[in-house]
Amino acid sequence: MTEAFQGSCLCGTVRYETLTPPKAVSHCHCNQCRKSHGAAFASYGSVSRSDLRILTGAESITFFTSSASVVRQFCTRCGSSLFWSKDHGEYSDWISIALGTLDSAFTSAKRKHIHLASKAPWHEPPTDCSRHTQPDQTPGDMPEGAQQ
């Protein structure tokens, strides 16, 4: 049996678990991710929507449609950014978890920095992982098992 990973928002109102480890770890430097996290980049790991369980606080999760197909979810009480996903189309059956909300220990050897063309001018990403000026929408960039 695969280990479940637990996570929560800053105030603890929203608690969740994933039934599988996050895959396709990305450190996104796009303007939307930087603004939603208030940081140089946002770190996400993807899981199948069916593997995410909201344990408490589902009523405290709200959303913001940040572009034509992207929905960002956050806690209404503390403002913690929790998840983002596509609400339709390709990959809409996957959800990306803000890795900073994980309470369980998690590491991934496979990670990448994306949208470096719009990175914060005051931050230089490390060179020890894959770097992309734009995100590649190729099968190798999506979690194992994702349908293209």
Task: Identify whether 143 is part of a domain.
Answer: no
* 74-84: average pLDDT: 97
- The model's confidence at residue 145, banded by pLDDT at 50, 70 and 90, is very low
Let me know if residue 142 belongs to a domain: no
Q: How sure is the predictor about 73, in pLDDT bands with cuts at 50, 70 and 90? A: very high
- The mean pLDDT value of the chain amounts to 84
Q: Is the dihedral of CA 52, 54, 59, 61 positive or negative?
A: negative
Q: What is the pLDDT of residues 37-46, one digit of tens each?
A: 889 899 999 9
Domain of residue 124, CATH code: 2.170.150.70
Average pLDDT over residues 114-131: 78
Averaged over 100-107, what is the pLDDT?
91
The answer to whether position 146 is within a domain reads no
Examine residue 83 and state whether it is found in any structural domain, yes or no: yes
Nearest in space to 77 (alpha carbons), one of 5, 8, 31, 17:
8
The residue among 88, 91, 89, 110 whose CA lies nearest residue 21 is 110
Asked, for residue 44, whether it belongs to a domain, the answer is yes
Residue 26 lies in a domain: yes
> Is residue 139 included in any domain, yes or no?
no
Total of domains in the chain: 1
Full domain range(s) for residue 17: 5-134
Residue with tokens 């020890």: 128
Where does residue 85 rank: exposed (0-12), middle (13-18), buried (19+ CB within 10 A)? buried
